[in-house]
Amino acid sequence: MNNPEQVDLRIAEAADAPAMLHVIHEAFGARPEVDPPAAALSDSLTDIESRLAEAPGVIAEVDGRMVGCLLTSLDGEVGGLHRVSVLPGQRTHGVAAEMVRGAGEVLVELGARRLELLCRKEFPETRAWWTNHGFRVLREAPLGHVMGADLPALVDVPTGEQMQDLGRRLAGLLRAGDVVVASGDLGAGKTTLTQGIGAGLDVDGPVISPTFVLSRVHHSRGQGPDLVHVDAYRLGSEAELFDLDLDQTLPDAVTLVEWGAGLAEGLSNSVLQIDIRRSLDPEDETRTVYLQGTGERWHGVDLHTLGEEL
């Protein structure tokens, strides 16, 4: 995050319950009064301990001091977010967004495919915040609305050949106008995945990293979309990305931007985010691939089947 202070996340332990209760009461106590009052204000230490025994909690710290926390629940494939709390003095530092991201990753590992939470009707600004972070209203509830967001699909990929296979399968879900943003360390497998996408789209090759030319257009051999492959590693701003005139090819192509996180999201209201991560074991070549679609284009598209097929 580009924040003045580094926010560190960790999983809550039973011993954290008293400090979490303090943060929850401080955060909810700073909100405008509502009727009925927020249930969080009546939480006891026993309540927090019981919730932590049932599902993980997430803690955000700055310089070792707890500044935010949240609780989760798990009901089948639905993960719940509860008591999302940030100390009043830390609310402009992106703490809540980091905690929600971290909770999502934890719940994905436990088998969840969607996040849900209750948003009180008295706080339209809170609803707007959740909307800006990828959540949408799913249904009405007695005190407001239940909002939800699809969680990333998680795929473990042991080899480069299987990374290309994942790309080919992903190509079957892509269509003209799609924007794909691929992130990951050097050598993580972004270009290997793109090669698989190119094969699945049946475009001219070879598909190699466009590091020095910044972008390449691979034309379709058939009736499908072209593939525009962009390397944003050397770009310093969103304006430099737009200088590549991608708007000219966007409608008729799949545009894939490596190193595009934080730069390429403005290309479209709907973006497929792909994050490739190495194993912590240097001897293990397995990559973990997170795939998450944002925006109307990806609502209802089941990316989880890609892992099942692989």
What tens digit of pLDDT does each residue of 237-295 get? 888 888 888 989 999 999 999 998 888 888 999 999 999 999 888 889 999 999 999 88
Query: Does position 6 have pLDDT exceeding 90, yes or no?
Result: no
Mean pLDDT, residues 65-74: 97
pLDDT on residue 3: 43
pLDDT on residue 245: 87
Residue pair 72/82 in contact by the 8 Å Cβ criterion:
yes
pLDDT on residue 212: 67
Q: Which residues contact 108 (CB under 8 A, 6 or more apart)?
A: 151, 152, 154, 290
Do the bridges between strand 253-258 and strand 179-184 make them parallel or antiparallel, or are there none, so unpaired? parallel
The helix-helix angle for 45-54 and 17-29 (nearest 10°) equals: 110
pLDDT on residue 262: 85
Mean pLDDT, residues 219-244: 89
Give dist(CA 43, CA 125) in Å, integer: 24
This prediction's pTM: 0.78
Give dist(CA 307, CA 209) in Å, integer: 25
Query: How would DSSP label each residue in the chain?
Result: ---SS--EEEE--GGGHHHHHHHHHHHHHTSPP-SSPPGGGG--HHHHHHHHHHS-EEEEEETTEEEEEEEEEEETTEEEEEEEEE-GGGTTTTHHHHHHHHHHHHHHHTT--EEEEEEETT-HHHHHHHHHTT-EEEEEETTEEEEEEEPPEEEEE-SHHHHHHHHHHHHTT--TT-EEEEEESTTSSHHHHHHHHHHHHTB-S-----TTTSEEEE-BSSSS-EEEEEE-TT--SHHHHHTT-GGGTGGGEEEEEET-TTTGGGG-SSEEEEEEEE-SSTT---EEEEEEEESGGGTT--THHHHHH-
Mean pLDDT, residues 35-63: 97
Cα Rg of the chain (Å, integer)? 21
Nearest to 182 by CA among 227, 137, 212: 227
Query: Does position 1 have pLDDT exceeding 50, yes or no?
Result: no
Sign of the alpha-carbon torsion through 66, 68, 74, 79: negative
Query: Does position 211 have pLDDT exceeding 70, yes or no?
Result: no
Give dist(CA 138, CA 303) in Å, integer: 19
Do the bridges between strand 144-150 and strand 136-141 make them parallel or antiparallel, or are there none, so unpaired? antiparallel
- Give me the residue label for tokens 């990305």: 241
Give dist(CA 22, CA 48) in Å, integer: 11
Nearest to 310 by CA among 204, 209, 178, 165: 165
Residue pair 170/309 in contact by the 8 Å Cβ criterion:
no
Measured CA to CA in angstroms, residue 188 lies from 166, 246, 289 at distances of 14, 25, 10
Domains of the chain: 7-150 (3.40.630.30), 153-307 (3.40.50.300)
Q: Using pLDDT thresholds of 50, 70 and 90, give the confidence band for residue 15.
A: very high
Q: Using pLDDT thresholds of 50, 70 and 90, give the confidence band for residue 143.
A: very high
